[in-house]
Amino acid sequence: MKNGKRKKRFAVCLASICALLCGLSACGKGAEVKEDKIQCDAFNGATIDCTPPVYQKYLSLTDENEMAKLLFEHNEQGVFKAVPTSTDVVLSWDSEDGYRKYFVQISKNEDFSDIVFQAETQEFYATVSGLFPGTYYWRVTDSTGKKSDVDTFTVSNYVRALNVDKIRNFRDLGGWKTESGKTVKYGLTYRSAILKESSGNALVDLGITTEIDLRADEEYAQSIIPSKYGIKFLQAGIMQGDYVLKDKSFYSSLTPEQIEEKRHSEAAFKQEYADALYEAFKLYTVESNYPILFHCTSGADRTGTFAFLLNGMLGVSVDDLYRDFELTCFAMGGKRWRSNIENDGNGNYYFNDDGYATVSDNYVAIGLLYKGLMTCYSTGDGKLSSAIKNYLRTDVGLTDDDFEAIENIMLD
């Protein structure tokens, strides 16, 4: 056995010496030396859309009838189990040296002076969630100091839907274009469904400074998030849709059948809704209050109403406001539509002119909110943003200085 081991060791040593001599001989003949680098699966500057696939399908449609059909069929199928979240950016690489520790870095600058993500792994890939739109540079270094080349990719504007402790309908309100040509900034305000007591760390990681609860009951007078996380809290209880409008004269345009089917007759305005909206919008005038998260229970109706008013005031078009509202259909289900959807009998679907969607005992009337704003609060220029500002002045008590402050913070 000993002689056998000696022979084996001798053979290995001899093979190593031969390989070394052959290598030296080859180098002496001017052979090309392979560069010793980690090989990345390069993006080469490619643009990536991280919008959740189910949102992409809906947002790609431009014809209202096609939108209506997709929303109607999705509601009939009842496919609401998963929480739609943004697609991860997957960074991958290879190395002939096998498994080692790898250090991955992503930066906004080519010199890596602004690191936005870094991780250590023994895998040949890393996934990154929730990146803001923009151009990024990335590289990999292993535990021996071997490096990859620097690669780059660009994240396009997208619906930034996040998985924050599995809270439904949690998404960034940024990215929407406005009538002025500006864009609502990402990372400043978020909307969601009901929070969890366990969500404190996740909210802190996201940078949330202020929470607004749009529910009015006494049991919601304080946050479920423990105070140790230092997140400011405001209860700003409102109702959804046209409830928040004081002027209801636009109801004269509804048919008796529409009023009856709506179930709530004339949606009663209460001064407490205006007071709550005043306090909530005032928070948006102070930069130190950002990022701000607002929510209700399902993150659909009251949350959808506030999102409509906020982004609408900033100049987002009504078409995009409807799209944002209707994305909720894919996040938690239900007829969160601009209006009831009908079928002409030939397989063609369309939004009717009700301005509300019939959902059991719920009252979903984002279309009536728009109709009421444009009928009763229009300033004559035909702009929804002007009508919303006029409403917020007359019914809520905000000023042009408040609007300017919010616009200066939230628009880019």
Q: Which residue's entry shows tokens 């259909």?
A: 329
Average pLDDT over residues 57-84: 86
Same domain for 229 and 105? no
Average pLDDT over residues 195-202: 95
Give residue 193's pLDDT band: very low, low, confident or very high (50, 70, 90): very high
For residues 244 and 377, the answer to whether their CB atoms sit within 8 Å is no
Distance in angstroms (rounded) separating the CA atoms of residues 412 and 404: 13
Same domain for 200 and 110? no
pLDDT in the model for residue 82:
66
Same domain for 385 and 242? yes
pLDDT in the model for residue 304:
96
Tokens of 172: 């960034």
Q: Residue 120 sits in a domain of what CATH number?
A: 2.60.40.10
What would the pLDDT profile of 255-288 be if each residue is shown by its tens digit? 877 776 665 566 889 999 999 999 999 999 999 9
Closest CA to 215 of 296, 147, 118, 334: 296
pLDDT in the model for residue 115:
96
For residues 192 and 184, the answer to whether their CB atoms sit within 8 Å is no
Same domain for 149 and 179? no
For residues 168 and 331, the answer to whether their CB atoms sit within 8 Å is yes
Tokens of 6: 């000696």
* 141-144 long-range contacts, CB within 8 A, separation 24+: 141/38, 141/102, 141/103, 141/105, 142/38, 142/95, 142/97, 142/100, 142/101, 142/102, 142/103, 143/100, 143/101, 143/102, 143/103, 144/97, 144/100
Same domain for 302 and 334? yes
- With both helix axes pointing from N to C terminus, report the angle between 384-391 and 301-314 in degrees, rounded to the nearest 10: 110
What would the pLDDT profile of 330-369 be if each residue is shown by its tens digit? 888 788 999 999 998 888 999 998 898 877 767 889 999 9
Helix (H, G, I), strand (E, B) or coil at 207: coil
Same domain for 149 and 271? no
For residues 169 and 328, the answer to whether their CB atoms sit within 8 Å is yes
For residues 376 and 250, the answer to whether their CB atoms sit within 8 Å is yes
Structural domain includes residue 114: yes
How many domains does the structure of the chain reveal? 2
Structural domain includes residue 22: no
Distance in angstroms (rounded) separating the CA atoms of residues 141 and 282: 47
Q: Residue 387 sits in a domain of what CATH number?
A: 3.90.190.10
Structural domain includes residue 236: yes
What would the pLDDT profile of 83-137 be if each residue is shown by its tens digit? 789 999 999 998 876 667 999 999 999 999 999 999 999 999 999 999 999 999 9
pTM to 2 decimals?
A: 0.88
From the DSSP assignment, how many helices (H) and strands (E) are in the chain? 12, 17
Same domain for 216 and 113? no
Same domain for 125 and 172? no
Distance in angstroms (rounded) separating the CA atoms of residues 297 and 194: 5
pLDDT in the model for residue 257:
75
List beta partners, residue 293: 190, 211
Give residue 78's pLDDT band: very low, low, confident or very high (50, 70, 90): low
Of 155, 180, 197, which residue constitutes the final position of a domain? 155
Domain carrying residue 109: 39-45+87-155
pLDDT in the model for residue 169:
93
pLDDT in the model for residue 22:
41
Same domain for 139 and 233? no
251-269 CB burial, b ≥16 within 10 A, e <16: beebeeebeeebeeeebeb
Structural domain includes residue 11: no
Q: Which residue has the higher pLDDT, 255 or 315?
A: 315
Distance in angstroms (rounded) separating the CA atoms of residues 73 and 81: 16
Helix (H, G, I), strand (E, B) or coil at 289: helix
pLDDT in the model for residue 253:
84
Closest CA to 332 of 23, 41, 78: 78
Closest CA to 302 of 192, 159, 173: 192
Same domain for 317 and 370? yes
Of 130, 155, 180, which residue constitutes the final position of a domain? 155
Same domain for 245 and 178? yes
Same domain for 399 and 367? yes
Residue 399 CB partners (closer than 8 Å, separation 6+): 393
Q: Which residue has the higher pLDDT, 81 or 217?
A: 217
Query: β-strands 125-128, 89-94: how paired?
Result: antiparallel
Range from 10-14, 65-69, 94-98, 399-403 carrying the lowest mean pLDDT: 10-14
